[in-house]
Each structure stands twice: as C-alpha cells, then as structure tokens.
Amino acid sequence: MKLEHAIAPIKHGHRAINAVACTFAVRLRAVYGASYYRLGVFMALWHLRSNRKPTGGRLHRFRKKMRMDRGSMPVETKIGKRQVSKKKARGGSSKLRLSSVELVNVADPKTGKVQRVPVVTVKENAANPHYVRRNIITMGAVIETKMGLARVTSRPGQDGIVNAVLVKEKK
C-alpha cells in the first residue's frame, strides 16, 4: 500500500478524517468504551478563576494551567444497589465515589438516634431541578425514606456514604 493511501481521508459521517486520527479514535473506543468516547469524557474540567474582572474587563492569566487546577467529572449518585469506586486524591488520600445507594443513615434530631433506612425517592434537589426526576442524590437534596423526609448532609460523590437529617417524620 502506498503512503498516500494510508493517510488518505476516510469518510466518517458528514466529515472526512485522516487514517491516523481514525485509528486513534478506534483505540480510544476499544480502551474506554464507545459511550465514554461519544460523551466527551476526555475533556478536562478546570477549577480556575473567571477570565473577566468584576468590571467586565479581560483578566490576563499570571500563569499557565496546571494539573492541580484540573477537576473531575461529577458523580451522579442514583438510587439502587450500592456501587462504590475508589479514586486517588491529592496528597496521597483517596475519595470514595458512590454511584448508587439503597440505604441511608438518617439522624433524628429529637431523639438523637441514627437509623439505617432504605431510600424511596428524591423529593427536592436545589442543585438541579432535573435531578428530582432522575432520582439523583446530592448534598442538600430532600429524600423520602421509610422514616419520613430527610435532608442529605454528606457529599455522596466524595464521601462514599449518604448521611441525612430527618426534616419531617411520617405519621
């Protein structure tokens, strides 16, 4: 095969890409799965200052982006069989990322006791109104449990557990 044919554009949907880029994409799909490649998981999330001043003028960077400025994809904790993954964190520590949960630790402020009860559904979520429909639990979400309504006090995507305080008891 001639070199011109090896790097000739390949038709891919409505655009043409070269063979090198195509083989790279195939490798990415093989290693990480097609869904990750399509969703753009390879984009980095940056925790940096705004590019604008409070007055609206342009803010010039005093340094380049560094690895420590990079964030990670948010974990959307759902209701279901418990699934936890461990992630390395900065400074040698680790974070437990909770993908799904079925039991929650609910503290009753009147009695001071904590019980482990099943989660029924998500009633409110100030982080995103669509999270209620999708039953995604985040810190501050109001969930319905067997004891009643409870507000989540832990960060399930980082702590690996769901703790909540009883807001309204069931009668």
Q: Are residues 83 and 18 in the same domain?
A: no
Q: Considering the domain boundaries, does residue 102 fall inside one?
A: yes
For 123-159, what is each residue's pLDDT tens digit?
999 999 999 999 999 999 999 999 999 999 999 988 8
Confidence band (pLDDT; 50, 70, 90) for 37?
very low
Residue 64 lies in a domain: no
Q: Is residue 68 part of a domain?
A: no
Asked whether residue 152 falls in the same domain as residue 92, the answer is yes
pLDDT at 32: 55
As a whole number of angstroms, the distance between CA 153 and CA 30 comes to 39
Residues 162 and 82 occupy one common structural domain: yes
Answer whether residue 16 is part of any domain: yes
Question: Residue 85 pLDDT > 80, yes or no?
Answer: yes
Handedness of CA 111, 116, 119, 122 (dihedral sign): positive
Q: Looking at the structure, do residues 86 and 142 belong to the same domain, yes or no?
A: yes
Q: Is residue 61 part of a domain?
A: no
Same domain flag for 85 and 138: yes
Do 33 and 95 fall into the same domain?
A: no
Share of the chain above pLDDT 70, in %: 74
The helix (H) or strand (E) run that includes residue 85 is strand 83-88
12 and 88 part of one domain: no
**Dist. CA 117–CA 136, nearest whole Å:** 17
Q: Cβ–Cβ contacts within 10 Å for residue 136, how many?
A: 20
Given a cut of 50, whether residue 7 has pLDDT beyond it is no
CA nearest neighbour of 3 among 15, 20, 16: 20
pLDDT value at position 153?
95
Inside any domain, residue 107? yes
Entry pTM: 0.67
Instruction: At 48, list the tokens.
Output: 């940096």
Q: Please tell me whether residues 83 and 165 are part of one structural domain.
A: yes
Measured distance CA(88)–CA(6) in Å, rounded: 40
Q: Is there a domain that residue 53 lies in?
A: no
Counted domains in the chain = 2
Q: Which domain holds residue 18?
A: 3-39
Confidence of residue 77 (pLDDT cuts 50, 70, 90): very high
CATH code (residue 90): 3.10.290.70
Residue 70 in domain: no
Q: Does the pLDDT of residue 20 top 80, yes or no?
A: no
Percent of the chain with pLDDT over 90: 49
Q: What is the CA radius of gyration of the chain?
A: 23
